[in-house]
Amino acid sequence: MFFNTFIVLAAVSSSALLNVQAHGTITGVTGANGVQAAGFGIIATTPRDGSTRKPFEQDTSVIRDNEIASGKTGVCGRTAAGGNNDVAAQLAAASQAGLPTAAADGSVTMTLHQVNGDGAGPYTCDVSGDGGNTFVAATVTQQVPGKNGRSKAKATDFALTAQLPAGMACTAGPNGDACLLRCRNPANAGPFGSCVAVAQDGAAAATGNATAAAAGTAAGAAAADPAAGAAAAGTPPTDAAAGTAATGAAAGTAATGAAEAPAAGTGATAETAPADATAETAPADATAEAAPRRRDR
């Protein structure tokens, strides 16, 4: 009796362990540019036709906020086979292989492989344009079925589509053009999911990056020309600027006077000449008078 009870308990424990290890992971990303990729940590040779822990769950990521906060993992979690998903290394590898692009409306089409019960939906996604430092919510437009991360599906692929926010600037990775899209479910034993690297569609990338570029240009202009920056901001000119303006005004006044002098010169000379002539003539007259006296002698 005791032995039979032990066997039953062992079976229940084994079943519970399998449920705890249940997983869902992103095995495919299809870019609008035709590029195919996969989630971080995915091992291409992992079989996808079973639902047991080994080997079917070895490359599924567990992404827990408490582990991220403690520094145990990075923002993309860990896998059983590879450990911590190194974001910088994964971004570099993804960029070298070629990044799938989002559609013109920001949509990213993915394949979510549900290994077993706890890999179900619903999934939530967020996106980082700076390599994982900051995240904003992405909109899931095609969802994986499930409730609270559970369903009866196993060894099944589902479509998962998420839409990047309008104006999203992707500046991560070695080429400065990658966004980090992270999707995970709410399973108690998880959350389970993946991170993927994507690039924006050309037009969307231009729109998103234009905002950052405009801000940078404005800051640069203000630094290069404080007076222009102050004027743009509605700030009164500095003393130096006012002094410069005053100097310019004085120079302009002098120039005006000089320009007018020749025109008034004729009249001024007519009146001034006698006074000047008197001053200059006196010695001349004295000389004229002295000369005859010398001759008379």
Residue 216: what pLDDT? 47
Least Cα distance to 74 among 59, 60, 93, 89 occurs for: 89
Structure tokens at 252: 């302009």
Whole-structure pTM value: 0.66
- Is 207 a domain residue? no
Residue 224: what pLDDT? 52
Task: Give the domain extent around 167.
Answer: 8-200
CA distance 120 to 110: 15
Contact 198, 108 (CB under 8 A): yes
Residue 202: what pLDDT? 77
CA-only gyration radius of the chain, Å: 41
Neighbours of 292 (CB within 10 A): 9
Residues found in the chain: 297
- Is 259 a domain residue? no
What is the 3 state secondary structure string of the chain? CHHHHHHHHHHHHHHHHHHHCCCEEEEEEECCCCCEECCCCCCCCCCCCCCCCCCCCCCCEECCHHHHHHCCCECCEEECCCEECCHHHHHHHHHHHCCCECCCCCEEEEEEEECCHHHCCCCEEEEECCCCCCCEEEEEEECCCCECCECCCCCEEEEEEEECCCCCCCCECCCCCEEEEEEECCCCCCCEEEEEEEECCHHHHHHHHHHHHHHHHHHHHHHHCHHHHHHHHCCCCCHHHHHHHHHHHHHHHHHHHHHHHHHHHHHHHHHHHHHHHHHHHHHHHHHHHHHHHHHHC
**What are the two backbone dihedrals, phi and then psi, of residue 156, each rounded to the nearest 5 degrees?**
-130, 140
- Is 64 a domain residue? yes
> With a cut of 70, which residues of the chain have pLDDT below it?
1-22, 203-297
Neighbours of 55 (CB within 10 A): 14
Residue 233: what pLDDT? 43
- Is 145 a domain residue? yes
- Is 2 a domain residue? no
User: How many domains does the structure of the chain reveal?
Assistant: 1
- Is 195 a domain residue? yes
Residue 209: what pLDDT? 53
Residue 278: what pLDDT? 39
Q: How far is CA 69 from the centre of its chain?
A: 23
- Is 283 a domain residue? no
Residue 264: what pLDDT? 38
Contact 77, 36 (CB under 8 A): no
Give the residue carrying structure tokens 């980082």: 128
Least Cα distance to 146 among 291, 279, 24 occurs for: 24
Cα angle, residue 47 at apex, residues 41 and 48 outer, rounded to 5°: 90
Look up the CATH number of the domain holding residue 61: 2.70.50
Q: How far is CA 277 from the centre of its chain?
A: 82
- Is 216 a domain residue? no
Residue 207: what pLDDT? 55
| Angle formed by the axes of helices 226-233 and 202-224, nearest 10° | 110
Least Cα distance to 226 among 216, 236, 215 occurs for: 236
